[in-house]
Amino acid sequence: MLDIGSGSGAFCFLSNALGHHAIGMDLPRTDKASAVLSSSYELTQWYHVDVIEHAIAPSKPLPLLERSFDDVVISNPTFYKQWREQDWDFLFDELTRCVTKDESELYIKINTPKMKTTGGGATHTTSSSGRWSSETTG
């Protein structure tokens, strides 16, 4: 499982404790990283979580091998705020390239003011055609 925007690695840590194999993806850790990134990096080390260092950006390919993950989680990302529809399409195409199953799942939860009070998220599933179908929750 791939957790994009993994932050402290808590989701990966819990997933791994439950018997899954989860790897995080988050911003590169540099000497000039903010205090939040630095403490998140320390937690991922404490949790023994593997993190792929990569900044998600529009039209920037993911540094992943084809068919390398069963499922993908994107929970409360910060990278999307200026994105257009074609930026999401590019990311979905990249994720489709990287999943192993015809029916892999992509769970996305984005906190917006409305969603903070009502909860919610969306689960997307790949089909044999390689496209994601959607189901909204919350």
Question: 123 in helix, strand or coil?
Answer: strand
Burial 88-118 (b: 16+ CB within 10 A, else e): eebbbeebbebbeeeebbbbbbeeeeeeeee
**Main-chain phi, psi angles of 57, to 5 degrees:** -145, 155
Angle 20-35-37 from CA coordinates, rounded to 5°: 30
Q: What is the pLDDT of residues 25-82, one digit of tens each?
A: 988 876 555 656 667 778 788 888 999 989 888 999 999 988 889 999 998 888 887 8
pTM value is: 0.76
Domain spanning 2-137, CATH class: alpha beta
Instruction: For the chain, give every domain's residue range.
Output: 2-137
